[in-house]
């Protein structure tokens, strides 16, 4: 029987292990488990995050990351954890020339702009959990260990995230997934609408899905 609860710091090693197992092709995974642990820790300790784990017999078998107010959450992530995350990425890139090349080609300019904003007062506004208006929530990661895939853990995670976002006042939720990933069928099955194909800020193609909480 699968249950879902908020992700705690004590879950991080287990969630990172699942992430590396099922999303090893993802860009973030290339920075290694230490970076992923710092990333997840930053995410769950930043205001406005939605971070959940799925448990089977008390053991973590999956996780979900999202945000009720993504723009505000990203600002707070950059302000509070940007430097630590950048240092961990730089450390991993230093010992991996291919990773360094891809990091520079796809993300360096954007990251530098983020850090530049960090040192200006634009980023110094206080973070708050309350959405600033009719906001669109976001799910960024859903992952379930292969051993229990197909048994409802993914559905339970997404439904719990949607419930939390609805309680936060969110009207609709978005996510993107690579076109070649089977996850697109999972989201379609859960009632998400395919609302287009677009490139990420780093240039990779993604399918864009929306779920209307008001419907
Ligand atoms: C996608 C993923 C999270 C689904 O989790 P899961 O626990 O296996 O999914 P569930 O068992 O809750 O499935 C929910 C529904 O989706 C359907 N479904 C799940 N994966 C599917 C697939 N690949 N193709 C078609 N349908 C699928 C199930 O049949 C089920 O339908 P039902 O409830 O009507 O029987 C899991 O396969 C996974 O971790 N994949 C690797 C990571 C990934 O791609 N994450 C998404 C991008 S971040």
For 55, 74, 117, the CA distances from 114, given in Å and listed in that order, are 35, 10, 5
Residue 118: its pLDDT value, please?
64
- Fold type of domain 2-170: Aminopeptidase (3.40.630)
How many C-beta atoms surround the C-beta of residue 10 within 10 A? 9
- What ligand 1 atom has the least distance to the C-alpha of 182? 23
**Consecutive sets of 10 residues in the chain, 215 residues long: mean pLDDT of each?**
96 97 89 94 94 97 96 90 87 82 77 68 52 78 97 98 96 92 94 91 86 89
| CB of 183 shorter than 6 A to ligand 1 | yes
Nearest protein CA to atom 48 of ligand 1, as residue: 141
Its pTM stands at 0.89
Ligand 1 pocket, mutate which of 15, 66, 150, 208 (most atoms under 8 A from CB): 150
| CB of 142 shorter than 6 A to ligand 1 | yes
Question: Do the beta carbons of residue 37 and residue 43 sit within 8 Å?
Answer: no
Query: Residue 92 is encoded by which pair of tokens?
Result: 């991993």
Residue 122: its pLDDT value, please?
54
| CB of 207 shorter than 6 A to ligand 1 | no
Residue 179: its pLDDT value, please?
87
């Amino acid at each position: 029987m699968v249950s879902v609860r908020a992700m705690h710091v004590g879950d991080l090693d287990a969630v990172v292990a699942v992430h590396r197992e099922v999303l090893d092709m993802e860009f973030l995974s290339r920075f290694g488990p230490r970076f992923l642990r710092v990333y997840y820790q930053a995410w769950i300790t930043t205001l406005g995050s939605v971070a959940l784990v799925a448990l089977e017999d008390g053991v973590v078998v999956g996780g979900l990351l999202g945000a009720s107010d993504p723009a505000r959450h990203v600002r707070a992530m950059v302000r509070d954890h940007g430097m630590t995350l950048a240092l961990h990425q730089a450390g991993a890139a230093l010992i991996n020339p291919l990773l360094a090349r891809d990091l520079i080609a796809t993300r360096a300019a954007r990251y530098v702009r983020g850090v530049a904003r960090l040192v200006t007062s634009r980023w110094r506004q206080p973070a708050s959990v309350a959405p600033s208006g009719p906001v669109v929530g976001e799910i960024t990661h859903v992952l379930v260990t292969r051993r229990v895939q197909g048994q409802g853990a993914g559905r339970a995670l997404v439904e719990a995230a949607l419930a939390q976002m609805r309680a936060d006042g969110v009207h609709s939720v978005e996510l993107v997934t690579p076109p070649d990933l089977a996850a697109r069928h999972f989201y379609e099955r859960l009632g998400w609408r395919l609302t287009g194909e677009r490139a990420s800020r780093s240039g990779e193609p993604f399918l864009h899905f929306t779920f209307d909480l008001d419907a």
